[in-house]
Amino acid sequence: MDNIITISINDKNYPKSLKASANPPKELYAIGDVSLLNQPAIAIIGTRRPSIYGAKQAEKFAYELAKSGFVIVSGMARGIDSVAHKGALTANGKTIAVLGCGVDICYPPEHSQLKSLIEKNGLVISPFPLGTAPLPGQFPSRNSIVSGISKGVLVIECAEKSGTFSTVAAAKKQNVPVWTIPTNLDNISGKGNIILIKKGVNIATSPKDIFDILGMKTSKESIQLPSDICQLTSDFHPSQPITIETLMSKWNLNIAETNNKLLELELEGKIKSLPNKTYILA
């Protein structure tokens, strides 16, 4: 694949924070914008089987943190990871997916569209050579990179026994702060949150809690997720393509705003893009 970049540990694009950690990988394989590796990033991670509440919070935090200028890092797994990537992309922000397999492999396979969008609007990386299958023993290495390239790790939801704890352990070794969010005591998907809170992990109820620990200030008000998806999809037809120029006129938006809405709808699986830059209802 011509679009794959190999980044050695001595390359200027190799993430400085990861290089300073214990046993960093000697090479990273990448598709996308490698400059993101040295930009301020927050990892958002959690269970593959989130509650409705957990998925909503993952999207909300990812969207608001991306709007505030952070790159959102996650592992492109089912559940919280994929929602975090989508939240960042919906905000027209940047996101990094760290894989536990080769970057030429899509795992899980149903995330092929998401992987493609991240490659175009962010970065996909892996410490494993091309063709490496996603085996369980490789994910701890993936997890240490997730935390190692981030200024902090936010755990949205995790079960009592979860691979999320591997990332938390790596973050602690790397002196990377960890947050988790409050959860319902009856929420099985969030039993691990309670364990983390008991162990003294920081609690985040909004991005401000993250900014405070990092010693950062933001003048931006809380940013709300778009809520007009149903209204927007009424302009699409399942068999009659519509152009972006027509949509700009219908929505009374500029090109950047229209592209942002189209990306949001595509991530939600509401529309499909066609090769000639037209769109139909999915």
β strands within 33-184, DSSP E: 41-46, 71-74, 95-98, 123-126, 152-157, 178-180
Contacts of 9 (CB under 8 A, 6+ apart): 19, 24, 25, 26, 27
Contacts of 98 (CB under 8 A, 6+ apart): 73, 74, 75, 76, 125, 126, 142, 145, 146, 149
Radius of gyration of the chain (CA): 19
pLDDT digits (tens), the chain, 282 positions: 679 999 999 999 999 999 998 889 999 999 999 999 999 999 999 999 999 899 999 999 999 999 999 999 999 999 999 999 999 998 989 999 999 999 999 999 999 999 999 999 999 999 999 999 999 899 999 999 999 999 999 999 999 888 899 999 999 999 999 999 999 888 999 999 999 999 999 999 999 999 999 987 654 444 455 555 556 777 888 888 999 888 888 877 777 778 777 877 777 677 888 877 788 887
Strand, coil or helix: 127:
coil
Q: Where are the alpha helices (DSSP H) in 151-215?
A: 164-173, 191-198, 207-214
Within the chain, which residue ranges are assigned CATH 3.40.50.450?
5-214
What's the pTM? 0.79
Report phi then psi at 201, rounded to 5: -65, 145
For residue 247, what pLDDT is reported?
86
Q: Cβ(125)–Cβ(96) under 8 Å? A: yes
Edge-first strand order for the sheet with 278-281 is 242-243, 278-281, 271-273
CATH architecture entry for 5-214: 3-Layer(aba) Sandwich (3.40)
Report phi then psi at 109, rounded to 5: -60, -25
How many Å apart are CA 153 and CA 176, to the nearest integer? 7
Within the chain, which residue ranges are assigned CATH 1.10.10.10?
229-281
Contacts of 26 (CB under 8 A, 6+ apart): 8, 9
DSSP 201: P
CATH architecture entry for 229-281: Orthogonal Bundle (1.10)
Q: Do β-strands 178-180 and 71-74 pair in parallel, antiparallel, or remain unpaired?
A: unpaired
Q: Which two tokens stand for residue 89?
A: 């992309």
For residue 219, what pLDDT is reported?
43
For residue 230, what pLDDT is reported?
58
Task: Please name the amino acid found at residue 147.
Answer: S
For residue 231, what pLDDT is reported?
64
Strand, coil or helix: 275:
coil
